[in-house]
């Protein structure tokens, strides 16, 4: 692992710990409750999407705003030290994401990116609004979508 400062390391570790109970789990449980059935972490597909709904040809990524650089989001902060290192790392992440979306679309999948900040909220009605939006997108024929959508940011 690259040498990182303490604050960054604990940030990374907390992200890892979130995996099982974090935003992605919130979203898929909510979708399940609404009757959607899916597969998880489909490794065969580019970028191994977090939630895949074959019936709707839909691949969903739940992206952490920090790692995947949610534009204009308060969680997409820049670490104060080793700025060059992080800039390169972030650019590589964004580029990888872009390529994965492109490949999935070429393969005939539809792609939805749900940003973590849309799921982080403790406000139940806000969370429901996010799930509503996800449901609307799943049932639509839109090829690509993001929640929150860029204009809302
Ligand atoms: Zn965000």
Q: What is the pLDDT of residues 3-12, one digit of tens each?
A: 566 666 666 6
Asked whether 101 and 111 are in contact (CB, 8 A), the reply is yes
* Contact between 112 and 58 (Cβ < 8 Å): yes
| Residue 72 CA, ligand 1 centroid: distance in Å | 8
Residues with CB under 5 A from ligand 1 (ion): 65, 70, 73, 75, 115, 117
- If you average pLDDT over residues 94-100, what whole number do you get? 98
Rounded to 5 degrees, φ, ψ at 131 are: -65, -40
Ligand 1 geometric centre to CA of 116 (Å): 6
Check whether 151 has a pLDDT greater than 90.
no
pLDDT tier for residue 42 given thresholds of 50, 70 and 90: confident
CA of 65 to the centre of ligand 1 (A): 4
For residues 122-141, average pLDDT: 94
What angle, 0 to 180 degrees and rounded to 10, lies between the N-to-C axes of helices 23-33 and 124-139?
70
pTM comes to: 0.83
Euclidean distance between CA atoms 50 and 86, whole angstroms: 24
Give domain limits for the chain.
21-152
Mean pLDDT of the region 105-120: 96
CATH class of 21-152: alpha beta
Please tell me the predicted confidence (pLDDT) of residue 1: 46
């Amino acid at each position: 692992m690259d040498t990182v400062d303490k604050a960054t390391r604990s940030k990374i570790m907390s992200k890892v710990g979130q995996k099982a109970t974090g935003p992605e789990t919130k979203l898929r449980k909510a979708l399940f409750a609404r009757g959607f059935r899916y597969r998880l972490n489909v490794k065969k597909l580019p970028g191994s999407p977090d939630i895949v709904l074959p019936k709707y040809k839909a691949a969903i990524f739940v992206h952490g705003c920090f790692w995947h650089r949610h534009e204009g989001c308060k969680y997409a902060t820049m670490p104060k030290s080793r700025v060059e290192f992080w800039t390169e790392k972030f650019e590589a992440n964004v580029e990888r994401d872009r390529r994965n979306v492109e490949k999935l679309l070429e393969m005939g999948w539809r792609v939805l990116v749900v940003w973590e900040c849309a799921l982080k909220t403790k406000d139940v009605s806000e969370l429901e609004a996010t799930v509503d939006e996800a449901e609307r997108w799943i049932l639509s024929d839109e090829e690509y979508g993001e929640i929150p959508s860029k204009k809302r940011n």
